[in-house]
Copies of this chain bind each other. A is one copy, B any other.
Amino acid sequence: MRKAGELLVGNEIYHLRAGWACQFRDLSNGRRAIVDVYLPGDVIGLDTVLLTRPLKEILTLTEVTTEAVAAEDALMNLMAYRPTALYVIWLLGQRKRRADRFLAAISCLDARGRLAMMVLDFYTRLRRRKLIAGSTYNLPLTQVQIGHYLGLTVVHINRVLRSLREARIVNLEKHCITILDLEGLTSLAQNEGMANSSGARIGGRSAPEIGLPTGKSAL
């Protein structure tokens, strides 16, 4: 249980039970890039699990409850339970594919497209986990943080948000975002290949044996 705006550190894997967090990288010129946003149910720290370097550069975006899995234990269990190892491999592959998709969007889309992509991505992820029902959800990122995430400045984020509001596509106020025109949003995001993370080859349960998330949580 951490407050918003805290740094998560430690040599562990975290299962994010509630709240949002993000992973960032700071460049030596002072700029920051948010490279990942973690939603409730996500697993944090997988990509550094085999490094001695402790987890860092993880920032909570809201109040957060995490369940820490000591990396040592996780490793022990990885050694002991093959399905878990496969599950971790699958998760990491999924993470990499998500990163590729995001990079392609950043590379190819203008500001409106990137914003549309982001809004849709959070929307589908939250919906898949049944954390929202309607077309409105809580978006805790500040506009500065959205800028860091999409590689744009606050000022421009603000302008594009206004233009999307005026076009009756999305409306964001008080960290609460409403999708007014899902079709328009989708066409802005050029949203191909969004549904490509399914098709697991390992049949049956993908439930892990260690403290990693269970059931729907890491879909």
Contact at A97–B33, with CB atoms within 8 Å?
no
- Judged by a CB distance under 8 angstroms, whether A132 is at the interface is no
Complex interface bits, A81-117 against B, C-beta within 8 A gives 1, otherwise 0: 0100110111011011101111111111100000000
Contact at A100–B51, with CB atoms within 8 Å?
no
Q: Write out the residue numbers on chain B whose beta carbons fall within 8 Å of the beta carbon of A103.
A: 33, 35, 99, 102-103, 106
Contact at B27–A192, with CB atoms within 8 Å?
yes
A23 with B88: in contact, given A33-B108, A50-B93 (CB under 8 Å)? no
A199 with B52: in contact, given A96-B47, A190-B28 (CB under 8 Å)? yes
- A-side interface size class: 35 or more
In the assembly, how many copies of this chain are there?
2
A27 to B188 Cα, complex, angstroms: 11
- Judged by a CB distance under 8 angstroms, whether A155 is at the interface is no
Of the listed residues A28, A29, A107, A190, the one surrounded by the most CB atoms of chain B closer than 10 A to its CB is A107
Complex interface bits, A194-208 against B, C-beta within 8 A gives 1, otherwise 0: 001001111000000
- Judged by a CB distance under 8 angstroms, whether A48 is at the interface is yes
Q: Write out the residue numbers on chain B whose beta carbons fall within 8 Å of the beta carbon of A85.
A: 78, 82, 85-86, 89
Of the listed residues A28, A32, A104, the one surrounded by the most CB atoms of chain B closer than 10 A to its CB is A104
Q: Write out the residue numbers on chain B whose beta carbons fall within 8 Å of the beta carbon of A71.
A: 201
A108 to B150 Cα, complex, angstroms: 10
From B28, B92, B99, B150, contact of A100 by CB (8 A): B99
- Judged by a CB distance under 8 angstroms, whether A31 is at the interface is yes
Contact at B23–A93, with CB atoms within 8 Å?
no
A106 to B79 Cα, complex, angstroms: 37
Interface of A toward B, CB cutoff 8 Å: 23, 25-29, 31-33, 35-36, 46-53, 71, 75, 78-79, 82, 85-86, 88-90, 92-93, 95-97, 99-109, 148, 150-151, 190-193, 196, 199-202
